[in-house]
Amino acid sequence: MVAPLKVGIAGLGTVGAEVVRLIETQARVLAGRSGRGIRVVAVTARSKAKKRGVDLRGVEWAKDPLALATHPEVDCFVELMGGAGDPALAAVEAALNAGKSVVTANKALLAKHGIKLAKAAEKHGGALNFEAAVGAAIPVIKTLREGLAGTGVNRVYGILNGTCNYILTRMEQEGLSFAECLKDAQRLGYAEADPSFDVDGHDTAQKLAILASLAFGTKVAQSAVYVEGISSIAPEDLRAAADLGYRVKLLGVAVRTAKGIEQRVHPTMVPKSSSIAQVMGVTNAVTIDGEGIPPITLVGPGAGGAATASAVVADIADVARGIRANPFGRPISHLHDTTKAPMERHEGGYYIRLLARDFPGTAAAIATRLAEQKISIESIVQRHPNGGAAPATGKAAPVPVILITYATHEDAVRRALAAVQRDKVISGRPQVIRIEKN
């Protein structure tokens, strides 16, 4: 009879409490699947007094995360506190250095210190599992690390932040502004009081950095990710996208190019017919383009206590089974430094919305600036606000012009639009959204 795996859990919040509950309610299933029992022997959090709705009788309360990480009774240390610094970092390092296995859902920690921690795991023989860190219940880490071990990956991209997808979905379906939808997301608990980490794209960037490492065998490098958020997206962009056969999603995209690995997070127009375009609300999705096989899209809940605990407990079950995969899919010595492809050389189609001043020669001036940069236009739509008639003041209002370009380079688009602004033929700043074809 194999002894049960003894687990210590640091953090008993949304995810941690749910992990305790799941290990208890699924005890028989887990023992059946892992070939041995899984038992929570010790826990810790900031407040011992707080009610958590889980039965912790018979479970030791460790004085702090570090004491729990090095507790002689603990085989597997589960870090569910969050944050890229201490106590999460110190505790995870201490557990790994003591030869224990670690399970964590902490994308911030992995995006910043993933390689250092994977080295410690490799050196001391413990597992470092983090399925829940990206896409919560969606098994995307395992898919890249193990399921596609024999398949080259050319591109991985996805909707990795439910808050942003919820906001964009509501904006599209109800014609509401970004600010209105954000307020609703906060009221419903989908967005934090300070939403900037989500809506400015940084949460997606941390997750993308982890996926890129697994997909391309590079060292995790959050600083290599180009990041733009969704706050500049207006309902008219979503209407125009719909008319042109697209939807706008905040995507994280990591792609192999001739100039290195491009890692970017930005609002993206995707064809309405694509799998990723069907993903609405808080749901997450990841598409993987593998060599020689059609794209694989995984869809599911990317947050929430139960969804995240599902992945955490699956990682613990792997430790119980004695499975130890290289954390980033390869031995550390096989991971190479990221060659960052410069964003200025990004190649693709662009959606450009301009407010053109309504006087003769405007269209020609815009067309000239684009032609100077060798940008070809796939389609152009003018949406006259007054059906063509000048307002009663006699002063014509600017006319929204929407352009879709054929594939071109980012720096060409930036140069052309800077020249158009200098020409003073448009009002305000142009809106630019990159197009990702499937």
Ligand X SMILES: NC(=O)c1ccc[n+]([C@@H]2O[C@H](COP(=O)([O-])OP(=O)(O)OC[C@H]3O[C@@H](n4cnc5c(N)ncnc54)[C@H](OP(=O)(O)O)[C@@H]3O)[C@@H](O)[C@H]2O)c1
Please report, as ranges, the residues that interact with ligand X according to CB under 6 A.
Answer: 10-16, 44-47, 50, 65, 80-82, 87, 105-107, 132, 136, 303-304, 308
The smaller minimum CB distance to ligand X, of residues 105 and 171, is found at 105
Is 177:234 a contact under the CB 8 Å cutoff?
yes
CA distance 44 to 67: 9
Q: How far is the CB of 47 from ligand X (least distance, A)?
A: 4
Answer whether the bond into residue 327 is a cis peptide, omega within 30°.
no
Is 11 annotated as belonging to a binding site? Answer: yes
Is 14 annotated as belonging to a binding site? Answer: yes
Q: How far is the CB of 144 from ligand X (least distance, A)?
A: 17
The smaller minimum CB distance to ligand X, of residues 154 and 186, is found at 186
| Closest CB to ligand X: residue number | 13
User: For tokens 């896409």, what's the residue?
Assistant: 135
**Contact partners, residue 387, CB within 8 Å, separation at least 6:** none
**Which string of b and e fits 331-361 if b means at least 16 CB within 10 Å?**
ebeebeebebbeeeebebbbbbbbbbbbeee
The smaller minimum CB distance to ligand X, of residues 136 and 209, is found at 136
Q: How far is the CB of 44 from ligand X (least distance, A)?
A: 6
Is 120 annotated as belonging to a binding site? Answer: no
Is 291 annotated as belonging to a binding site? Answer: no
Is 351:380 a contact under the CB 8 Å cutoff?
no
Q: How far is the CB of 185 from ligand X (least distance, A)?
A: 14
Q: How far is the CB of 303 from ligand X (least distance, A)?
A: 3
At residue 225, φ and ψ (nearest 5 deg) are: -95, 125
Burial class (CB in 10 A: 0-12, 13-18, 19+), 312: buried
CA distance 171 to 174: 6
Give the bridge partners for 433, in sequence order. 351
Out of 207, 259, 374, 437, the active site residue is 207
Q: How far is the CB of 132 from ligand X (least distance, A)?
A: 5
Give the bridge partners for 340, in sequence order. 261
Is 305:14 a contact under the CB 8 Å cutoff?
yes
Angle at which helices 235-243 and 162-174 pack, to 10 degrees?
70
Is 15 annotated as belonging to a binding site? Answer: yes
* Catalytic residue list contains 207: yes
The smaller minimum CB distance to ligand X, of residues 107 and 369, is found at 107
The smaller minimum CB distance to ligand X, of residues 87 and 229, is found at 87
Euclidean distance between the first and final Cα of the chain, in Å?
A: 51
**Which string of b and e fits 79-106 if b means at least 16 CB within 10 Å?**
bbbbebeebbbebbbbbbebebbbbbbb
Q: What ranges make up the beta strands (E) of 100-210?
A: 101-104, 128-129, 153-159
Is 35:5 a contact under the CB 8 Å cutoff?
no
The smaller minimum CB distance to ligand X, of residues 28 and 63, is found at 63
Q: How far is the CB of 315 from ligand X (least distance, A)?
A: 12
Is 13 annotated as belonging to a binding site? Answer: yes
The smaller minimum CB distance to ligand X, of residues 295 and 305, is found at 305
Is 107 annotated as belonging to a binding site? Answer: yes
Q: Give the residue numbers marked as catalytic.
A: 207
Q: Which residues are annotated as a binding site?
A: 10-17, 107, 192
Q: Which residues are annotated as a binding site for NADPH?
A: 107
Q: Which residues are annotated as a binding site for NADP(+)?
A: 10-17
